A and B are shown apart, each in its own frame.
Chain A
């Protein structure tokens, strides 16, 4: 599937099959979750990152079903196609953004998503405690969502943020790496 075809499907599904909610509601809800985690873990931002990733993972496991049903997309032929589908269809229908897919490694197993806009991070200014700017990945839930969703379609990936405009970086970049394809395992005791 080409990039333009993915973009067309994303646009079409977004317009016709997606229930919309108010953006501030999403932004403020997510913000209060992150802020509460920071309080609960008393500023242990590493742990907050981990929790956000875990929450995202559990969302991804479920969200993929909804995604496949709404978009009617079939199996991707390769990881490059997966990347385009994530950006142009996945992010498009759930957040109405299309992060740029770039920085491929030569083995086609690693790419970056560059977020020009990030609805989760609107209004956000990280705590000025000298640590949050270096330790907290505010939108880390997105990494977990990708990891969980891709695991359900036989791809084990690592996803992590490499930079974030909230930290003062020029761009917000997520690095996604394909670790392995998960072989369909036969159900136990069924041979």
Chain B
């Protein structure tokens, strides 16, 4: 793919233990938290994995962390997102609200989310995202 695109989206609950390299981003969340004074959820770029991939973060007030990996073959430290991530995070948060408002949803943060509707929506958000664009509603 020639343009930057989203290669991975992760939602991390408060109690979850996540056994992958995403652990590194969690430390960034906690180290930056004391400096966040404006109540903003956007943590911006957390971590550049390599030249082509960067991780962006978002933290809701309930402690749910959303991490989006943007892959950008053009390079440049992986900062190819161009500011369009906020729209993605808002779309993901809306999808998450829809998930937790389902009365049959059991919020067990130690287990992966299995809702088909939610997973399809997250996939749609990732696949329709383009750099600099607001995410589709």
Contact = CB atoms under 8 A, between A and B. Distances in A.
Q: Do A and B share a complex?
A: yes
A99 to B, nearest CB: 22
Contacts of A35: 103-104
A27 B101 contact: yes
Interface stretch (B53-61, B63-71, B76-84, B110-118): B110-118
B75 interface: no
B132 interface: no
A38 B104 contact: yes
Contacts of A128: 114, 116
A34 B103 contact: yes
B114 A28 contact: no
B101 A127 contact: no
Contacts of A24: 101
Interface string B21-49: 00000000000000000000000000000
A56 B117 CA distance: 29
For B98, B104, B116, B117, the residue with the greatest tally of chain A CB atoms inside 10 Å of its CB is B104
B62 interface: no
A126 B116 CA distance: 11
Contact of B98 (A34, A38, A123, A127): A123
Contacts of A124: 102-104
A191 interface: no
A123 B117 CA distance: 10
Interface string B91-114: 000000010011111000000001
Nearest to A32: B103
Contacts of A32: 103
A126 B105 CA distance: 9
B114 A123 contact: no
Interface of A: 24, 27-28, 31-32, 34-35, 38, 122-128
Interface of B: 98, 101-105, 114-117
Given A27-B101, A125-B117, 4 more contacts: A24-B101, A31-B102, A35-B104, A127-B104
21 contacts: A27-B101, A28-B103, A31-B102, A34-B103, A35-B103, A38-B104, A122-B101, A123-B98, A123-B102, A123-B103, A124-B103, A124-B104, A125-B102, A125-B104, A125-B105, A125-B116, A125-B117, A126-B104, A127-B104, A128-B114, A128-B116
